[in-house]
Amino acid sequence: MSDLHVLRVFCGPGGTAGNALGVVLDGAAYAERERRQELARELGFSETVFVDDAASGRVDIYTPSARLLFAGHPLVGTSWLLRREGVAVDVLRPEAGEVPAWQEDEFHWIRGRARWASGRRTLRHDSVAEVDALAVPPVGTGWLYAWAWSDEATGAVRTRGFPGRGDGIEEDEATGAAAVVLTAELGRALDIRQGVGSQILTRPGPDDTVDIGGRVVPVEVRRLRQG
């Protein structure tokens, strides 16, 4: 049997909302990619992470239907969890490359690149009300990150994320990869409120990178059958 840690990542003030994440610390229990994909589909989280080597930060990320090279909320949540478990990893290593990770007060941060999140289209709307009123786009129209300024002077943004994969995740409660893309496009720090009530902080980093920060709250630990 293996443990599945369930977290909420990019929570709002006071630990509200946030995007659910599953983390299997013993990645060796699900060594084959096909089995990992099967488990991710069974769990139904927007992403599930398998930790292949905690000491070196090597991780593998899956949606219910696809393997990802990079994703924001899984890496923020996994780095927070490893730190809580006593493994203070400064760099995570998903397929995309090296991702620095660190803690600042109540926010946990990672650093990524917009090119690692290719395929996510951003679309600006004129008002927060327009974003709130959007219907879920049809499956197959691509990953859409709809947004509007709630206060442009302070960098406050309202967003909603629609993966469009047809795998049961019609709307993503909080997505760091799309936030990286939007921050790179706008070239400034943002305070993003996404979904029901999640909060993502971003800022341009060195060498065309983007820093993404958020709160993480533990939910439960489940026992899984052996892979």
How many CA within 13 A on the CB side of residue 42? 10
Same domain flag for 56 and 29: yes
**Domain of 31: which CATH number?**
3.10.310.10
**Is the pLDDT score of 227 beyond 60?**
no
Q: Quick one: angle between helices 176-186 and 72-84, nearest 10?
A: 120
96-121: per-residue pLDDT in tens? 999 999 999 999 999 999 999 999 99
Host H or E run for residue 37:
helix 33-43
**Is the pLDDT score of 211 beyond 80?**
yes
The reported pLDDT for the residue numbered 226 is 66
- 8 within some domain: yes
Domain boundaries, position 92? 2-101+215-224
Q: Are 92 and 99 in contact (CB under 8 A)?
A: yes
Q: pTM for this one?
A: 0.97
Same domain flag for 120 and 138: yes
Same domain flag for 172 and 97: no
Q: Are 111 and 205 in contact (CB under 8 A)?
A: yes
127-150: per-residue pLDDT in tens? 999 999 999 999 999 999 999 999
182-208: per-residue pLDDT in tens? 999 999 999 999 999 999 999 999 999
- 109 within some domain: no
Same domain flag for 6 and 89: yes
What total number of domains does the chain contain?
2
54-96: per-residue pLDDT in tens? 999 999 999 999 999 999 999 999 999 999 999 989 999 999 9
